[in-house]
Amino acid sequence: MIDGGIIWYRTRTGSGGRGVDFIDRLVIGEAQHAQDEQLASVTPTLLAIPNPQMDAIGTAALAGKSDWWWKIRRRALSDDPGAFGYVGHTAERVWLDDDGKVVQERPDVEDRAVWLASNPAIVAGRGQGLAFLEEQFRNLGPDMFAQEHLCVWAPPADDAVSRLVDLDRWRSLAQLSEIVSGRRWALATSADRQWSCLAAAGRRDDGRYHVESVEHAAGVSWVVERCVRAFETLRIPLLVASGGAAGSLIGELVEAGVEVEEVSAGDYARSAGVFIDAVREGGLVHLDQRSLTRSVELADTRTTSSGATVWVEPDRADISPLAAATLALGAVAQEQTPDVVPLGAWR
């Protein structure tokens, strides 16, 4: 620089700060990716400077990748933050409870007023407007949209998830069974779009719920044709979570003649609660299908501050059978006098 100053850019490596002999001001960009060892490598140099400064700038914390970033946020939320300043722009409310655990109150991700409040550039008339966010919501799904456009943080690793479905209990509910009334069907796709599943739920002759994975296959290319064939027989709306990965297929499904019933994030969360309660109380049976059982084994749950339960899909894991079965079961639970659908309608 004209005054002799130097800006030195370092890549994100474990020893990124080593070899730098003088730092007046350390600026950490994309701080949601910063790791302890990267920051530790530069502290000896900072120690030798009379008045060093550090700025950390980043977006929402990422699941399993932002431990250091959460340390900074925890410190800001604590009763003793020390001598530093913290400014956060987010649509969520967050605080520490009496035990020091993080409590996050997730906003209504479908509320367009929340979108506008979190994106002042759109209100100011800049950017591509609300239509751009509508398209991103469909493409990204509610969780990633909340992260990228509402700055809602993934929970910290130690507070993030809990397992509410007892696997032994789940396995004990496997038996030969069939739906005799109230059949509903649903579609779900994994977050990475590598797998899709059609699942069904309904009631048995003894009134208990029945859930099953009907078709579970790789990718999404087969979905529309399969749904068209099923709808020609069932004539029941296909349930799809509007903010999930399968939401991008809604337009194509409707154009192909499939009646689609979109499920909101709130209704999906309530359906997850129905699923968990039904397993605990023995009010649900399943066919011990590997695809559905495996997704139950993989899935974690997160309980929001309002008490709603949401499934958590681990990184690169597929829980689409569980997601689809949950959507279908939630719809069955809402119906008081379900219609009878002929057995074997899927086959």
12-51 pLDDT tens trace: 555 555 556 677 888 888 899 888 877 777 788 788 888 8
Write out pLDDT tens, residues 142-158.
778 888 999 988 888 66
Look at residue 248 in the predicted model and tell me its pLDDT.
Answer: 93
Q: What is the mean pLDDT of residues 307-324?
A: 83
Domain 167-334: which topology?
Answer: Nucleotidyltransferase; domain 5 (3.30.420)
Q: Among 8-17, 65-74, 193-202, which is the least confidently predicted range?
A: 8-17
The mean pLDDT value of the chain amounts to 85
Cα dihedral 218, 221, 224, 227, rounded to 10, equals -20
Measured CA to CA in angstroms, residue 186 lies from 85, 167, 236 at distances of 48, 23, 10
Mode of pairing for the β-strands spanning 195-203 and 209-218: antiparallel
- CA–CA separation, 270 vs 307, rounded Å? 10
Domain boundaries, the chain: 167-334
The angle subtended at Cα 274 by Cα 294 and Cα 107, nearest 5°, is 95
Q: What is the mean pLDDT of residues 125-138?
A: 87
Indicate whether 110 pLDDT > 70: yes
Look at residue 337 in the predicted model and tell me its pLDDT.
Answer: 45
What φ, ψ does residue 77 adopt, rounded to 5°? Answer: -85, -15
Q: For residues 287 and 156, is the Cβ–Cβ distance under 8 A?
A: no
Q: For residues 77 and 85, is the Cβ–Cβ distance under 8 A?
A: no
Widest CA span of the chain, in angstroms? 84
Q: Among 44-58, 234-248, 297-311, which is the least confidently predicted range?
A: 297-311
Residue 341: pLDDT band by 50, 70, 90 thresholds?
A: very low
- CA–CA separation, 183 vs 178, rounded Å? 10
